[in-house]
């Protein structure tokens, strides 16, 4: 459903009209999607949490994630050097478009009390971040098989240089933004 062909055939011409860009290469587009899960606080109780979190993210994204390890020991956090503290994966190409489409069409509506994603999550340079509290909203995860529920941080990086251009790109993808008082006017 979502692909580079869809961007070039449908979204780019619309975006060129909206942004009044002279060339197609000046238009913003999706660059990469990074998914991170912090598991540092859960590791002390169960050593298999890191591998389970990696398996869950592999199911969600279709790509093997990297287990991130602590660079130095911090005794106040009961953290030792080389302990697993997170899991991350970077998606590019068709895998990125597939995940982006799944996030919009399937995962968003499955989030409890979902009214849309916040417009305040842009970083000022056209990139967007989403925090999901439970990874069980993804259809690939069977809630009966999980040991611990963990959250996900999803960062969507675009080639846009400002937030306004990125918002227009996301709107053409029909990204579900939350209705606020500014958007209703």
Domain range summary for the chain, segments of one domain joined by +? 4-9+29-175
How is residue 52 written in tokens? 């389970």
Q: State the sign of the Cα–Cα–Cα–Cα dihedral 116, 122, 128, 134.
A: negative
What's the rounded mean pLDDT across residues 93-110? 91
Helix (H, G, I), strand (E, B) or coil at 66: strand
Lowest mean pLDDT among 51-65, 71-85, 116-130, 160-174: 71-85
pLDDT of amino acid 179:
78
User: Is residue 181's pLDDT more than 60?
Assistant: no
Q: What is the mean pLDDT of the chain?
A: 87
Closest by CA to 170, choosing from 8, 10, 5, 28, is 28
In the chain, the percentage of residues whose pLDDT exceeds 90 is 46
Q: What is the pLDDT of residue 70?
A: 83
CATH for 4-9+29-175 (3.40.50.2300, 2.170.130.10, 3.30.1440.10, 1.10.1060.10): 3.30.1440.10
pLDDT at 175 over 60: yes
């Amino acid at each position: 459903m979502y692909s580079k062909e869809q961007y070039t055939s449908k979204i780019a011409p619309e975006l060129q009209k909206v942004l009044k860009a002279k060339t197609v290469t000046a238009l913003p587009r999706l660059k990469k999607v990074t998914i991170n899960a912090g598991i540092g606080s859960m590791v002390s109780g169960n050593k298999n949490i890191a591998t389970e979190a990696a398996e869950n993210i592999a199911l969600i994204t279709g790509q093997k994630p990297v287990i991130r390890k602590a660079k130095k020991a911090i005794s106040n956090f009961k953290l030792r050097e080389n302990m697993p503290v997170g899991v991350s994966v970077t998606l590019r190409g068709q895998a990125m478009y597939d995940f982006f489409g799944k996030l919009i069409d399937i995962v968003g509506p499955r989030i409890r009390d979902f009214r849309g994603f916040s417009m305040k999550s842009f970083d000022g340079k056209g990139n967007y971040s989403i925090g999901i509290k439970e990874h069980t909203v993804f259809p690939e995860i069977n809630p009966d098989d999980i040991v611990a529920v963990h959250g996900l941080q999803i960062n969507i990086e675009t080639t846009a240089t400002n937030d306004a251009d990125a918002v227009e790109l996301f709107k053409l993808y029909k990204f579900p933004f939350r209705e606020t008082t500014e958007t209703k006017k």
